[in-house]
C-alpha cells in the first residue's frame, strides 16, 4: 500500500445556527484515508458522522455559521475550491451513496437515464457510449438483465436493487473515494451481505477508498480496514480493525463493544452505558463522555483530552486509556 494520502481532514469543525442557538455538530476532527482503504466511521445518532461526510462533498445545508479546518484531497483543500471545480469533483473523484436509495433516485426518470447523466457530464460520452457504459456498470453491480434494467423506473426495483443502481451511479466515473452513509441499514440480512461484498469487490478491483459511515459494528468487523469512533462531534478512538477489537482503549469503545447482545451472553446482564448521548446544544465541559464514564475524574470534567497516538496507527482521546474498570462497574 502506498504511503501517499488520499484524504486528509485536519481540525474540521462545523457549527450550525438554528433558532438563534449554536449547534456544534463536529468539533475538530482529524481523519486520514489512504488510497484503497476501507475506513469505517462509527458513532451513534447525532455524533456528527453524516455532517463530516457532507462537509467532504461540501453539501452542507446553508445554516452553517462556522466552518473551520481543512480537507485535503489529493493536495487540494476542498473547503477552498470554487463551486465550479467542486461540481466537477463530485461524482467524478468523490461520490456518495445513502441510506435510503429510494429517496435519492428520481421516480420519474428511468434508471439508465439517471446513471447516464453523470457519465455524460463528467466524461463527455456520447449517448450511445454512455448507454454501453451503464450496461457494463449494471452488470458489474449485479443487476441481472442490464439492458432491461436501464429502461425500468425506480419503483420497479426492490430496495436492494435500488441500492445497486445507486452504487452503479456512484462508481460510474471511477471515483477514488466513495462515501457510503449507512447504505445497508434499511436492507434485509441477505441483501446486506450482497451489497457489502459488492463494495469490497469494487474496492479491491479498482483500488477505490471507502468511507463507510455506520453504527453497525458487525459490518465494521467484517469489512473495515481502519475504524474511527465518533462521540459528540469528536473522534475519540481510531485504529486498524484488529487492533481496535482486540485492545480497545477508550472507555466508550470498550463499553460499546460489551453492550452488544449475543447468544454467548444468555442469562447474563448486558453491559450498557448509563445516561444518554449528550445533546450537541448542551455539551458537558471537558471530555463529552465524562458524565457516563466510569473512569471519570476531576481532570476529565475540566479538560478536553486530545486525540493522541498511543502506538502505531492507534489513537485515543482519553486521559486514562485502557485503564481497568475494576470494581467501578
Partner 1 sequence: MKSILRVENLTKIFPGSGIIKRYPVKALDNISFSVEEGEIFGLVGESGSGKTTLARCILFLDPPTAGKVYYGNLCLNTVPWYQWKKLRSRMQIIFQDPNSALNPRLSVRRSLEEGLINLGYSKKQRNDTIRKLLDQVGIPYNQVDRYPHEFSGGQKQRIIIARALSMNPKFIVLDEPVSNLDVSIQAGIINLLMDLKKEFNLTYIFISHDLDLIAYLSTKIGVLKGGQLVEVGKAEEVLSHPLHPYTRFLLENPLSFHSKIQPLKTYTKETV
Q: Given the rule CB under 8 A, which of 23-31, 66-74, 146-154, 182-190 is the region that contacts partner 1?
A: 182-190
Please say which residue, 22 or 265, places its beta carbon nearer to partner 1.
265
- Asked if residue 167 binds partner 1 (CB under 8 A), the reply is no
- Give the phi and the psi of residue 254 in degrees, each rounded to 5: -65, -40
Cβ 228 vs Cβ 42: under 8 Å:
yes
- Asked if residue 225 binds partner 1 (CB under 8 A), the reply is yes
Please say which residue, 225 or 237, places its beta carbon nearer to partner 1.
225
Cβ 310 vs Cβ 249: under 8 Å:
yes
- Asked if residue 206 binds partner 1 (CB under 8 A), the reply is no
Residue 171 Cβ vs partner 1, minimum distance, rounded to whole Å: 19
Please say which residue, 173 or 200, places its beta carbon nearer to partner 1.
200
Q: Which of 111, 119, 232, 255 binds partner 1 (CB under 8 A)?
A: 255
SS3 at position 328: helix
Cα 60 from Cα 84, distance rounded (Å): 16
Measured from the Cβ of residue 162, the count of other Cβ atoms closer than 10 Å reads 21
- Asked if residue 270 binds partner 1 (CB under 8 A), the reply is yes
Give the number of residues in contact with partner 1, rule: CB under 8 A: 48
- Asked if residue 307 binds partner 1 (CB under 8 A), the reply is no
Residue 276 Cβ vs partner 1, minimum distance, rounded to whole Å: 5
Furthest C-alpha separation in the chain: 69
- Asked if residue 192 binds partner 1 (CB under 8 A), the reply is yes
Cβ 5 vs Cβ 149: under 8 Å:
no
**Sheet hosting strand 177-181, strand order edge to edge:** 94-97, 177-181, 209-214, 38-42, 226-231, 234-240, 314-316, 308-311
- Asked if residue 7 binds partner 1 (CB under 8 A), the reply is no
Cβ 256 vs Cβ 287: under 8 Å:
no
- Asked if residue 117 binds partner 1 (CB under 8 A), the reply is no
- Asked if residue 218 binds partner 1 (CB under 8 A), the reply is yes
Q: Which of 68, 87, 221, 323 binds partner 1 (CB under 8 A)?
A: 221
- Asked if residue 71 binds partner 1 (CB under 8 A), the reply is no
Helix (H) / strand (E) element for 7: namely strand 7-18
Q: Which of 5, 8, 30, 44 binds partner 1 (CB under 8 A)?
A: 44
Spatial CA neighbour of 284 closest among 303, 310, 306: 303
166-184 residues labelled b (16+ CB within 10 A) or e (exposed):
bbbbbbbbebbbbbbbbbb
Residue 118 Cβ vs partner 1, minimum distance, rounded to whole Å: 29
Please say which residue, 123 or 277, places its beta carbon nearer to partner 1.
277
Q: Given the rule CB under 8 A, which of 86-94, 145-153, 175-183, 271-279 is the region that contacts partner 1?
A: 271-279
Residue 223 Cβ vs partner 1, minimum distance, rounded to whole Å: 7
- Asked if residue 21 binds partner 1 (CB under 8 A), the reply is no
- Give the phi and the psi of residue 214 in degrees, each rounded to 5: -160, 165
Q: Which of 59, 260, 308, 328 binds partner 1 (CB under 8 A)?
A: 260
Cβ 193 vs Cβ 22: under 8 Å:
no
* Residue whose grid cell is 502505531: 312
Residue 20 Cβ vs partner 1, minimum distance, rounded to whole Å: 19
Measured from the Cβ of residue 326, the count of other Cβ atoms closer than 10 Å reads 8
Interaction site with partner 1 (CB under 8 A): 1, 44-45, 188-190, 192-193, 196, 200, 215-219, 221-226, 239-243, 255-256, 259-266, 269-274, 276-277, 311-314
Amino acid at each position: 500500500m502506498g504511503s501517499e494520502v488520499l484524504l486528509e481532514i485536519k481540525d474540521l469543525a462545523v457549527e450550525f445556527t438554528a433558532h438563534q442557538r449554536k449547534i456544534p455538530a463536529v468539533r475538530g476532527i482529524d481523519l486520514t484515508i489512504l488510497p484503497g482503504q476501507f475506513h469505517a466511521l462509527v458513532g451513534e445518532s447525532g455524533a456528527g458522522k453524516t455532517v463530516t461526510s457532507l462537509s467532504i462533498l461540501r453539501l452542507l445545508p446553508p445554516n452553517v455559521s462556522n466552518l473551520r479546518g481543512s480537507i485535503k484531497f489529493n493536495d487540494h483543500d476542498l473547503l477552498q475550491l470554487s463551486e465550479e471545480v467542486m461540481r466537477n469533483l463530485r461524482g467524478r473523484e468523490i461520490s456518495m451513496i445513502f441510506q435510503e436509495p429510494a429517496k435519492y433516485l428520481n421516480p420519474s426518470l428511468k434508471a439508465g437515464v439517471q446513471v447516464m447523466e453523470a457519465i455524460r457530464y463528467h466524461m463527455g460520452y456520447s449517448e450511445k457510449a454512455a448507454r454501453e457504459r451503464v450496461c457494463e456498470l449494471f452488470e458489474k453491480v449485479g443487476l441481472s438483465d442490464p439492458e432491461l434494467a436501464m429502461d425500468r423506473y425506480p419503483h420497479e426495483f426492490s430496495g436492494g436493487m435500488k441500492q445497486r443502481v445507486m452504487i452503479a451511479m456512484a462508481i460510474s466515473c471511477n471515483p477514488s473515494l466513495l462515501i457510503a452513509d449507512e447504505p445497508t441499514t434499511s436492507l434485509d440480512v441477505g441483501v446486506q451481505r450482497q451489497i457489502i461484498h459488492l463494495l469490497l469487490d469494487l474496492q479491491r478491483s479498482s483500488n477505490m477508498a471507502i468511507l463507510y459511515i455506520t453504527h453497525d459494528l458487525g459490518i465494521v468487523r467484517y469489512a473495515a480496514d481502519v475504524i474511527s469512533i465518533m462521540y459528540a462531534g469528536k473522534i475519540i478512538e481510531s485504529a486498524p480493525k484488529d487492533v481496535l477489537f482486540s485492545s480497545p482503549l477508550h472507555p466508550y469503545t470498550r463499553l460499546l463493544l460489551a453492550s452488544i447482545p449475543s447468544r454467548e451472553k444468555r442469562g447474563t446482564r448486558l453491559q450498557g452505558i448509563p445516561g444518554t448521548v449528550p445533546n450537541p446544544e448542551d455539551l458537558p465541559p471537558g471530555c463529552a463522555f465524562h458524565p457516563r464514564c466510569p473512569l471519570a475524574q476531576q481532570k476529565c470534567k475540566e479538560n478536553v483530552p486530545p486525540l493522541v497516538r498511543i502506538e502505531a496507527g492507534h489513537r485515543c482521546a482519553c486521559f486514562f486509556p485502557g485503564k481497568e474498570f475494576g470494581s467501578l462497574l
